[in-house]
Structure 1
Amino acid sequence: MLTLGSLFDGIGVFPLAARRQGIVPLWASEIEKAPISITKRHFPDMEHLGDITQLHGGEVPPVDIITFGSPCQNLSSAGRREGLGGAKSSLFFQAVRMIEEMRDATGSQFPTIVIWENVMGALLSGDRLDFRAVLQSLTDAEIPMPASGRWASAGMVRGGGRDLCWRLLDAQHWADPRLARRQRVFVVADLGGRRAGAILFKPRRLFPLPAPCGDFGLSPAGADRISAVEAGGPLPVVHPFQGYRMRGAAKAGDVGNFLGSFGKPTDPFPTLMAGGLTVFALWREGREAEGVITWLTPTEGERAMGLPDGWTAYGCDGRPVSARARQKALGNSIALPCAEYIMAGVKEELEGGIKYSDT
């Protein structure tokens, strides 16, 4: 049975993707109280190890797979762009340290697969040198910058006996019904073989979205629509609303960009943000003056990430998690369908099977 350890675990999306593929989440490292409580509710048998800076990779249970989405604050275009040298994003190197310590302690047997996830800005940060540092750290080899000076949205490098691929995935294309826009870089490193390409690039069909949590009581959002006649009046028009774009356009006096911040009804919702609510505009045709700007509820945020309804609703003590804590946790998380696509590749390459599950 394959096992997984999750660093910077958040609300347990990598462990959930692993469990849906028959992989056992063995332990996790996280320091935020609300996410820890949420994951303890869903994974009561998964050990929580605490602060990564206090851990030694040779002293924790060895696992086949280690996943980590190290803090993105210093890499994101929405942050200060200190890069991997920033106080938060430099924790990436703590994860690399743990991985190498585990490899040393197990005769290079564990882990076999390492998966790193981060914001699209990681490809640009530090004059694009930060991503080079990521690749070099995971391959233990010297990697030249591309001749173009830019990193492609997908690629492969090999060195130091290791196989590594990266790919930019946008969550909106990985589920039906469509999810929110969420572009993330995923790096897969095979530390003992040549399987990274098959894990990250091989086509697989979409996995079914999970059913709601059993104690939450809501049914999943459906894709069916009703007519205005059946509704008894004009149907509401929903437009994704890009708050950051709107504020920037207003400050610059850019009318076109300001109007464009409302988007089109067919556009995906913008990326969920940890530092603020994801908003959208809502009105009825012919009554635009009565329209409002509102925001996604935590349940809608879960659906936008492909998670089960109610995933973040309660902690391990049975108490409700605050809406603000849920929004922050979701904004810091990853989309389940993208994580499960990769986990299915790991399962297939290491064990030879994919599980299509709705639980």
Structure 2
Amino acid sequence: MPEITLGSLFDGIGVFPLAAARCGIVPVWASEIEAAPISITKRHFPGVKHLGDITKLHGGAIPSVHVLTFGSPCQNLSQIGNRTGLAGAKSNLFFHAIRIIQEMRDATKGVYPIIAVWENVMGAFSSNDRMDFRAVLSAFADTEISMPPSGRWANAGMVRGGCPDIAWRLMDAQYWASPRLARRQRIFLVADFGGRRAPEILFKPRTMQPLPASGGTRRMFASEGDRGAFLEARGRVPIVRPFQGFRMRGAAKQGEQTAFQNSFGFPTDPFPTLLAGAVSPFAFWYEDDPEGGCIRFPTELESERMMGLPEGWTKYGIGGEEIRSAQRYKALGNAIALPCAEYIMTGIYEVLGGVA
């Protein structure tokens, strides 16, 4: 069977290429402008060509690919961002990706890319009075898409009858791996220019693939319940819960001791999303020694695990140099959870297996 190839815009640390490679799809090129993520990706994919700034690319002049992925910048769409939407200086780079797709299709007489995948924050559903997601759908469909009668975008949906065939779905990474990962709600949109297979790619039930090898057995996850995934020597059980700083501040102000203690987290509290601009702390103690616990931040290694990535994925660059902690945290906060990307790549490989 001929190779199925992939190009990655706004590549970051190469999660889409990693997911693709684990599913039998060959990453060919990537576009990224930040030095540390480029160095990390080059280390893991030395054969992938790096094309640089997306604004300087022409889709007809770069290698055509079967699959084109992009997680365009979300700063202006995020619910904790400035909410200027697709008109914002960062998030309007989305339209450069659409331009490149169209240029590639024009240059290949409508053959490539066959599939495009877009990823972004949940806030894209609501930014700019919910008009931004309409603009996203309209840009892919190359026609005006109407707002739903409810005035709100559903967490999953389709646009049928034209080219491309479009489906979208809100996916939360914590439900896509076992043990559970960190909470990370992201919109994934699949556009099929070669058929009507977008729903099959995005909605078909599939068995979750195992997470990459950990390189060790002492692996700690932001997992279901209040216990880590391992037992300490001598039977000590570590308890890990998301620290709720807002609870502590409110309780301290009101002088409420019980509420203050509850700020160290309940078993049902979800672990927060990893952010590019901040790292959220968590509470850690041993079951037999609750008074000996502490509040601390996840390490870079733990952050990689919470995204489902191989351990040490962001530790070194192409020349073996260690990537600075701040750069690793930022790159991981901007990254895509591997199991979600892998689910989609598996679906793409299934539907393109007899076509490519």
* TM-score, normalized by the shorter chain, greater than 0.5: yes
Alpha-carbon spacing, 1:287–1:20, altered in 2? closer, same or farther (3 Å): closer
Q: Which residue of 2 aligns with 1:123?
A: 125
1:226 corresponds to which residue? 231
- Tell me, yes or no, if the aligned pair for 2:277 and 2:330 is still in contact at 8 Å: yes
The secondary structure found in structure 2 opposite 1:209 is: coil
Are the structure 2 counterparts of residues 106 and 352 from structure 1 closer, same or farther at C-alpha, using a change threshold of 3 Å?
A: closer
Consecutive aligned runs of 4 or more in structure 1 exceeding 6 Å deviation: 250-260
- Residue 115 of structure 1 aligns with an amino acid whose one-letter code is V
Match runs of 1:185-264 below 5 Å: 185-212=187-214, 218=216, 221=219, 225-226=230-231, 230-231=235-236, 235-243=237-245, 245=246, 262-264=264-266
> 2: distance between equivalents of 1:183 and 1:81?
17
- Give 3-state SS (helix, strand or coil) of 1:126's partner: coil
Residue aligning to 1:101: 103
Letter in 2 for 1:125: S
The aligned runs of 1:9-88 (5 Å cut-off) are: 9-88=11-90
CA contact (8 A) 1:175 1:209 kept: yes
Q: Select the residue among 134, 138, 150 that pairs with 2:152.
A: 150
1:225 and 1:104 mapped to 2: Cα distance? Answer: 54
Offset at residue 259 of structure 1 (A):
6.9
Distance 2:199 2:259 in 1: 39
Structure 1, unmatched stretches of 5+, are 354-359
The SS at the match of 1:77 is coil
In 2: Cα distance, 1:3 partner to 1:252 partner: 57
- Is the deviation greater in 278-287 or in 70-79? 278-287
Deviations 1:114-146, CA, capped at 9 Å, x for gaps: 000000111111111000000010111221101
Opposite residue 201 of structure 1, the aligned amino acid is F
More off after superposition, 156-165 vs 75-84: 156-165
**Could you say which residue in structure 1 is the equivalent of 2:223?**
none
The answer on whether the counterparts of 1:139 and 1:158 sit within 8 Å (CA) in structure 2 is no
Match of 1:162? 164
Equivalent-residue separation in structure 2 for 1:209 and 1:284 (angstroms): 27
Classify 1:165/1:261 alpha carbon distance in 2 versus 1 (closer, same or farther; 3 Å): farther
Q: What pairs up with 1:300-311 in 2 under 5 angstroms? A: 300-311=302-313
CA distance 1:269–1:67, shift in 2 (3 Å): same
Aligned residue for 2:134?
132
Q: Work out the number of aligned pairs and report it.
A: 345
Q: Give the conservation status (yes or no) of the 8 Å contact 1:220–1:309.
A: no
Matched-pair contact (CA < 8 Å) for 1:114–1:188: yes
Check 1:79–1:225 CA distance in 2 against 1; reply closer, same or farther (3 A cut).
Answer: same
Contact 1:28 1:46 in 2 (8 A): yes
For each residue in 1:325-351, what CA deviation from the matched residue of structure 2 results, as whole angstroms up to 9, or x when unmatched? 111100000100000000000000110
Aligned partners of 1:173 and 1:179 also within 8 Å: yes
Give the superposition deviation at 1:264.
Answer: 2.0
Question: What's the secondary structure of 1:314's corresponding residue?
Answer: coil
Cα offsets for 1:309-335 (capped at 9, x unmatched):
010010001011111111110000010
Cα separation, 2, equivalents of 1:114 and 1:252: 50
Q: Secondary structure at the match of 2:312?
A: coil
- Residue type at the aligned position of 1:172: Q
Q: Structure 2 vs 1, CA of residues 240 and 342 (structure 1 numbering), >3 Å: closer, same or farther?
A: same
Distance in structure 2 (CA, Å) of the matches to 1:347 and 1:286: 49
- Deviation digits for residues 145-204 of structure 1 (CA, Å, limit 9, x no counterpart): 011110000000125422000000000011111100000000000012100000000000
Per the alignment, residue 321 of structure 1 pairs with: 323
Contact 1:242 1:262 in 2 (8 A): yes
Alignment correspondent of 2:348: 346
Q: CA RMSD in A?
A: 2.5
Cα separation, partners in 2 of 1:246 and 1:75, compared to 1, 3 Å: farther
Separation of aligned partners in 2, 1:2 and 1:197? 20
| Match in the other structure for 1:181 | 183
TM-score (norm 2): 0.90
> 1:9-33 CA deviation, whole Å, 9 max, x = no partner?
0000000000001111000000010
Per the TM alignment, residue 237 of structure 1 is displaced from its structure 2 partner at its CA by 2.7
Structure 2: which 5+ residue stretches go unaligned? 221-227
Q: Is the 8 A contact 1:169 1:183 kept in 2?
A: yes
C-alpha contact (below 8 Å) 1:28/1:48 kept by paired residues: yes
2:8 is matched with 6
In 2, are the aligned partners of 1:154 and 1:165 still within 8 Å (CA)?
A: yes
Whole-angstrom distance in 2 between the partners of 1:251 and 1:89: 39
CA distance in structure 2 between the partners assigned to 1:154 and 1:136 by the alignment: 16
CA distance in 2, matches of 1:250, 1:125: 33
TM-score, L = length of structure 1: 0.89
Query: Which residue number corresponds to residue 331 of structure 1?
Result: 333
